[in-house]
């Protein structure tokens, strides 16, 4: 990881598409006006990519790192609306509202491709293939987090782990990966307390469904997890 970021910083003219080979987003970066593609931004841990009520101007393709998008509620509490992984796009929601509604901060050192929405529109117009690709990505975003509606804590967490595994799959080997966010953040997103997440993870660990050591996790029985997510 560290190496990747170094490479980027040292060699800005090299094909940065390397970082966007995940999912379908690389096409976007490649096809949206080459001269703007160079606009890569390096984001530090805890740094904000954009803030609420800021005018919507750019879409951001994440090439490295993980982001969380959250709002501060009236009671002052943080409410996490979603996590974003390499190859995914931040900012779609703001097209409608014309300003960002959330704060997007990096959970770790990150790298994003900044795509001005106007350039995006022009490119999409020119290239029919790109248009379909974008509709596809858009539609995909609509399907994200469908498991949030699940009834029990166990169902939601099981589905979340499978989701994490899938969305991190391209960067991490096999079924083992590093959970990039805190228990508290997972709980916040799933509408559970951090303690509940901790308890359930311990329980899954004891029943050999996952191997767990702090942030390092390995899914041992994906089928069982799927059953749990389905509510069996």
Partner DNA sequence: CGCTGGATTGAGGCCGATCAACTTCAGTGG
Partner DNA sequence: CCACTGAAGTTGATCGGCCTCAATCCAGCG
Residues that bind DNA (CB under 7 A): 152-154, 182-184, 187, 191-199, 201-202, 212-215
Q: Smallest distance, Å, CB 166 to a second copy?
A: 14
Angle at 169 between CA 64 and CA 230, to 5 degrees: 125
Q: Smallest distance, Å, CB 169 to a second copy?
A: 17
> For DNA, which is the closer residue by CB, 75 or 139?
75
> For a second copy, which is the closer residue by CB, 173 or 232?
232
Angle at 1 between CA 100 and CA 23, to 5 degrees: 55
Among 18, 54, 121, 216, binds a second copy (CB under 8 A): 121
As a whole number of angstroms, the distance between CA 184 and CA 25 comes to: 29
Paired tokens of 195: 């303690």
As a whole number of angstroms, the distance between CA 61 and CA 65 comes to: 11
φ, ψ of residue 157 in degrees (nearest 5): -65, -40
Residue 129 site contact among a second copy, DNA, none (CB < 5 to 8 Å, cut-off depends on kind): none
As a whole number of angstroms, the distance between CA 109 and CA 99 comes to: 25
Applying CB under 8 A, does 125 fall inside the site for a second copy?
yes
Could you tell me which of 228, 213, 215 has the C-alpha nearest to residue 157?
Answer: 228
Among 42, 101, 169, 205, binds a second copy (CB under 8 A): 101
Residue 153 site contact among a second copy, DNA, none (CB < 5 to 8 Å, cut-off depends on kind): DNA
Q: Smallest distance, Å, CB 32 to a second copy?
A: 14
> For a second copy, which is the closer residue by CB, 25 or 111?
25
> For DNA, which is the closer residue by CB, 15 or 152?
152
Paired tokens of 64: 């490295």
């Amino acid at each position: 990881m560290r190496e990747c970021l170094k490479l980027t910083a040292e060699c800005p003219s090299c094909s940065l598409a390397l970082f966007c080979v995940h999912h379908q987003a690389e096409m976007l970066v490649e096809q949206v006006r080459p001269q703007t593609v160079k606009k890569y931004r390096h984001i530090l841990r805890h740094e904000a990519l954009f803030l609420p009520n800021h005018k919507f101007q750019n879409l951001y393709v994440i090439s490295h790192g993980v982001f969380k998008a959250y709002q501060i509620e009236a009671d002052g509490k943080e409410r996490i609306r979603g996590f974003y992984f390499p190859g995914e796009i931040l900012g779609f929601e703001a097209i409608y509202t014309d300003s960002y509604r959330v704060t997007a901060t990096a959970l770790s050192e990150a790298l994003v491709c900044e795509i001005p929405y106007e350039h995006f529109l022009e490119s999409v117009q020119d290239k029919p293939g790109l248009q379909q690709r974008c509709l596809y990505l858009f539609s995909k975003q609509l399907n994200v987090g469908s498991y949030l509606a699940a009834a029990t804590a166990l169902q939601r967490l099981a589905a979340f782990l499978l989701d994490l595994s899938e969305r991190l799959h391209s960067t991490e080997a096999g079924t083992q990966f590093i959970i990039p966010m805190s228990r508290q953040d997972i709980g916040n997103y799933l509408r559970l307390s951090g303690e509940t997440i901790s308890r359930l993870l311990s329980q899954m660990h004891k029943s050999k469904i996952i191997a767990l050591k702090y942030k390092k996790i390995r899914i041992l029985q994906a089928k069982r997890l799927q059953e749990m997510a389905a509510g069996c």
